[in-house]
Structure 1
Amino acid sequence: MFRTLLLAAPAALLSLPALACDGFSVEGGYVRSSTAMSTSGAGFMTLVNNGDTDCRVVGARTGAAARAELHTHQIDANGVARMIEVEEGFAIPAGGTHALERGADHLMLMGLTAPLTQGEMVAVTFVFEDGSEASAELPVDNERMPGAMGGGSMGGMGHSHGN
């Protein structure tokens, strides 16, 4: 019986499903608030899918805020831009990217638990459509100018996968 278990264990491991976003990383990410007294903030970055399978980020969470939502800007009939939650999340094609940047798709942090202080790190967990997760550490950079995304894999930030 022991021999049967030894042979069955590797086969069971091979049958486990792969994470939908295996190969996910964040590049050039940062968060910022508009003022030191702000109750909300935003995160900007490039979501990268180096995997072989399309994936979809459907949510996020952080200890830095009561709520983290995926947002975009929508222009109404009067030409006024409004931020709205993107409940279906952001698709990231296999081998592709999805930019989160000012004036477009972004990560919204609402109900900040403390001021976002220049140079601190904010841990963010991204949730994927299949329930898997990936974490990133994003620096607070209240001085970065629009369009200055930075570069390098994870922008010097680590990430991990887990359930």
Structure 2
Amino acid sequence: MKRIPASTLLAALALAACGQSPSGGPERVSTAEASEAFCRPTPNGRQMTGCYLTVRATGDDRLVSVSSPIAGRVEIHESRMEGGMMMMAELTEGLPLPAGQPIELKPGGNHIMLLGVTEPLTTGQTVPLTLRFEVADPVEVVAEVRQPAAE
């Protein structure tokens, strides 16, 4: 049985206490998952559409960006009522994800906007999305193109 010097064990414990792994990289304290992903078909003559999903992180985290090879740009948006009008704005700081809470991105609320879509999206196609987080590793999602279910 190989003996490990006490100084090596103490160094590993000190690194763990500082949020560092023994290899020197950041220790991941959150993982993330996404489900129920879909994107709306693109409206005729438009090169943008919304995508929706539910995301959950195991630790406090933040969805900081989304990318897709079928769009020139992807933004995380919020929708809110202002003066009786629905307003939409980019969440430039990302979307907070409290530990363990499912966060639903849905029509009329927070959502993902695909801008500069390269080809029209029609019902039945799929859209690859890569979600990037402040802490958790990126998550690859395949979203179905369809209309949202009627409320």
TM interval, shorter chain, is 0.7 to 0.9
**In the alignment, is the contact (CA less than 8 A) between 1:20 and 1:128 conserved in 2?**
no
Structure 1 residue 36: Cα displacement? 4.1
**In the alignment, is the contact (CA less than 8 A) between 2:78 and 2:111 conserved in 1?**
yes
Identity %: 26
Structure 1 residue 67: Cα displacement? 0.7
Distance 1:37 1:97 in 2: 34
Q: Where does structure 2 lack aligned partners over 5 or more consecutive residues?
A: none
Pairing 1:30–2:38 present: yes
Pairing 1:43–2:51 present: yes
Pairing 1:74–2:83 present: no
When the two chains are superposed, the root-mean-square deviation of aligned CA atoms in Å is 2.5
Secondary structure at the aligned position of 1:33 is classed as: coil
Moved over 6 A (4+): none
Letter in 1 for 2:78: T
Letter in 1 for 2:26: P
Letter in 1 for 2:27: A
Deviations 1:96-136 (A, max 9, x none): 11110011100011111111121111111111124842211
Q: Where does structure 1 lack aligned partners over 5 or more consecutive residues?
A: 148-163
Secondary structure at the aligned position of 1:58 is classed as: strand
How many residues are matched?
134
Of the three residues 20, 28, 40, the one matched with 1:19 is: 28
Structure 1 residue 35: Cα displacement? 2.1
Task: Give the TM-score, by structure 2 length.
Answer: 0.77
Distance 1:121 1:104 in 2: 22
The residue correspondences of 1:12-161 to structure 2 (distance < 5 A) are: 15=22, 16-22=25-31, 24-49=32-57, 51=58, 53-76=59-82, 78-130=83-135, 132-141=137-146, 143-147=147-151
Deviations 1:1-56 (A, max 9, x none): xxx9xxx9xx799524333541x11111100135243211111111122x2x2110
Task: Give the TM-score, by structure 1 length.
Answer: 0.71
